[in-house]
Amino acid sequence: MSVETQKETLGFQTEVKQLLHLMIHSLYSNKEIFLRELISNASDAADKLRFEALAKPELLEGGAELKIRLSFDKDAKTVTLEDNGIGMNRDEVIAHLGTIAKSGTADFLKNLSGDQKKDSHLIGQFGVGFYSAFIVADQVEVFTRRAGAAASEGVHWSSKGEGEFEVASIDKAERGTRIVLHLKSGEEEFADGWRLRNIVKKYSDHIALPIELPKEQHGEDAPAEVEWETVNRASALWTRPRTEIKDEEYQEFYKHVGHDFENPLSWSHNKVEGKLEYTSLLYVPGRAPFDLYHREAPKGLKLYVQRVFIMDQADQFLPLYLRFIKGVVDSNDLSLNVSREILQSGPVIDSMKSALTKRVLDMLEKLAKDKPDDYKAFWKAFGQVLKEGPAEDFANKEKIAALLRFASTAGEGDEQSVSLADYLSRAKDGQDKIYYLTGESYAQIKNSPHLEVFRKKGIEVLLLTDRIDEWLMSYLTEFDGKQFVDVARGDLDLGKLDSEEDKKAQEEVAKAKEGLIERLKGALGEQVAEVRVSHRLTDSPAILAIGEQDLGLQMRQILEASGQKVPDAKPIFEFNPAHPLIERLDAEPDEDRFTDLSRILFDQAALAAGDSLKDPAAYVQRLNKLLVELSA
């Protein structure tokens, strides 16, 4: 080996130290995945070289045959993995092997609990990559040189996976990366050809370039020079006929492209021929990545053009609300020198995006129909993201709506398991609306006064408690020809669900209570937009309804939290004329006392709606005054 120069010792980023410690302890039960992760990285390095060499063929340095070589030394207790891919320079080595650049890393690490079983799932979501080498090795060495750099610009990186690593400059004749794992005591089983072959076949058979191991030699006639043999299939999985691919192979390929430890819930492999020619292999993950809600987090499909890797995270082929989908798209119609800018628009991209979006929605529909338990898991992980769909994708609004799930007054607790088709199948005769109520939490709205008339008549109401729900419903106005109606908004009209007698009785009561309405308007003054008799209440004395065009509580809170000015909106005060408190109020001769009681009822209605009081101290004073009078 050549002499090392410019040697320096550097400390790992704090997050790397934490991750290394937790990973080594949490993933110990599945140690062989280290090889899958290192091979996956080597495959990516080959893909990147192939792509860069399209513009700069000299990077291939006369060696266009890309491969991965795996060897071992039983006596030295080492396993070596070598690729002739893109390689790294000194700055890249320090950046990639000493730090974690993922957005949301700090939040992710806060969620690690020290419970090894739970943490192994989280670490699997995070993707462990290179650092998995330390599961089986107590020292890891990396020898690398970037393609196109001089032989003298090689880099040697070494660490024992504790607090620091060493970096030095070396001579390295060949481009690419060689990783040497010095196995821990007790891990010698990996310095074995048969064991390594089995791991490659199990996890990396789908890798599209040859993975070579030394040929097993027997007897005295063994040649002096090492003979290498390819131990994987070495063909891109998505190019093979579906009938030849086992479920296990699809699942392992997902773990490679999705950087996940768990199997996907579903996948769709499709070849399109005709005006456009492309192959897609799309996966629905089983759990959300930790950075799903970080908008700058990488997302999108792996893009290949005529089997040549072009880019990771090509996010132009699916809308943002399907950002959780993983997979590969391989086009015959795009140019090999395609860039992110070129991908922004164009008939080919638009046509592929439209078809792939439809394919994903069909896959989710099939999952919901054939595997409802798996769909429940999907909804729990990605439901809030899917709710962004109706606003973003008008063309598929009805299809997306059919995939949405809600809690309801007919459901089991706060579980979001009711589809719109379920709801309509239980609708009353004559019901031409889909009724819903939004709120901050299930506990807050399950007993809302707004639901009283619906309970009395046995009409199901959807209960929407995700922060995004009120915004969603501003775009989702109807489903299957039935309009959505917010039961807390405007003047409630139950249409054919109210008999003519009911409507006539309501009109008569409203007329009879005109005097009380005027008194309440005077008492509540500027606090309300209107006072009226309620048709929604059976048990409560009063509620606050929202104006037809006004923002609801959820939207107001979202806007306030983001520092935006919220337009002023006054609620509508509705009272139940049959309630004893309202009868007592109507009979109150003292106008000052009438005003105090009216304002107490108003504040109680605001609290029941989940709103905060504008003047809590005044409410407490009025209530205390009333309690003193009652106890006198």
Average pLDDT over residues 374-382: 94
CA 572 to CA 170: how far, in whole Å?
78
Question: Which of 40, 38, 27 is closest to 258 using CA atoms?
Answer: 40
14 three-state secondary structure: helix
Q: How confident is the model at residue 106 (pLDDT cuts 50, 70, 90)?
A: low
pLDDT: which is higher, 612 or 526: 526
Q: What is the Cα Rg of the chain in Å?
A: 33
CATH number belonging to domain 239-380:
3.30.230.80
Q: What is the mean pLDDT of residues 127-148?
A: 88
Cα-Cα end-to-end distance for the chain: 99
β-strand 211-214 against 68-73: which pairing, if any?
parallel
Overall average pLDDT of the 547-558 stretch: 69
Lowest mean pLDDT among 118-127, 370-379, 402-411: 118-127
The pLDDT tens digits for 227-262 are 999 999 888 899 999 999 999 999 989 988 887 888
Q: SS3 sequence, 447-498? A: CCHHHHHHHHHCCCCEEECCCCHHHHHHHCCEECCEEEEECCECCCCCHHHC
Q: What angle do CA 208, 214, 219 make, to 5 degrees?
A: 145
The two structure tokens encoding residue 573: 């005060």
Task: Give the distance from CA 419 to its chain's centroid.
Answer: 20
Q: Which residues contact 551 (CB under 8 A, 6 or more apart)?
A: 470, 559, 566, 567, 569
> Would you place residue 432 in the very low, low, confident or very high pLDDT band (cuts 50, 70, 90)?
confident
Instruction: Calculate the CA dihedral of residues 518, 524, 527, 529 and round it to 10 degrees.
Output: -10
Q: Residue 561 and residue 63: Cα distance in Å, rounded?
A: 57
For 5-233, the fitting CATH number among 3.40.50.970, 3.40.50.1360, 3.40.228.10, 3.30.565.10 is 3.30.565.10
Of the listed ranges 55-59, 375-379, 382-386, 605-609, the least confidently predicted one is 605-609
pLDDT at 289: 76
Exposed/middle/buried for residue 373 (C-beta within 10 Å: 0-12, 13-18, 19+)? exposed
Same fold, 400-495 and 497-631: no
Q: Is the pLDDT of residue 308 over 70?
A: yes
What pLDDT shows up at residue 124? Answer: 47
- State the average pLDDT over residues 387-416: 91
Mean predicted confidence (pLDDT) in 395-402: 95
pLDDT at 172: 95
Residues 312-346 pLDDT 10s: 788 889 999 999 999 999 998 887 666 666 677 77
Whats the size of the chain, residue-wise? 632
Q: Higher pLDDT residue, 613 or 271?
A: 271
Mean pLDDT of 270-284: 93
Residue 164: strand, helix, or coil: strand
Nearest residue to 180 (alpha-carbon basis) of 28, 43, 71, 93: 71
> Which residues make Cβ contacts (< 8 Å) with residue 296, sequence separation at least 6?
103
Q: What is the reported pLDDT for 21?
A: 73
Domain 400-495 grouped into CATH 3.40.109.40: no
Work out the pLDDT band at 102, boundaries 50, 70, 90. low
| Separation of alpha carbons 2 and 389, rounded Å | 58
Cα(326)–Cα(323) distance, integer angstroms: 8
pLDDT, average across residues 419-438: 91
CB 540 within 8 A of CB 608: yes
Residue 128 or 145, more confident: 145
pLDDT for 23: 67
Spatial contact of 169 and 11, defined as CB atoms under 8 Å apart: no
Residue-level pLDDT at 224? 66
Lowest model confidence (mean pLDDT) among 4-8, 181-185, 222-226: 222-226
> Where do the domains of the chain lie?
5-233, 239-380, 400-495, 497-631
Among 155-159, 344-348, 471-475, whose mean pLDDT is lowest? 344-348
d(CA 517, CA 520): 5
> Residue 408 in contact with residue 418, Cβ under 8 Å?
yes
* Residue 47 to residue 443: CA distance in whole angstroms: 52
* Cβ neighbours for 605, distance < 8 A, ≥ 6 positions apart: 449, 542, 543, 544, 573
Measure Cα distances from 284 to 129, 245, 357 in Å: 21, 18, 13
Closest CA to 124 of 302, 254, 297: 254
pTM for the model: 0.75
Higher pLDDT, 50 or 298: 50
**Lowest mean per-residue pLDDT among 36-40, 546-550, 579-583:** 546-550
Superfamily for the 497-631 domain: Heat shock protein 90, C-terminal domain (1.20.120.790)
Q: What is the pLDDT of residue 5?
A: 86
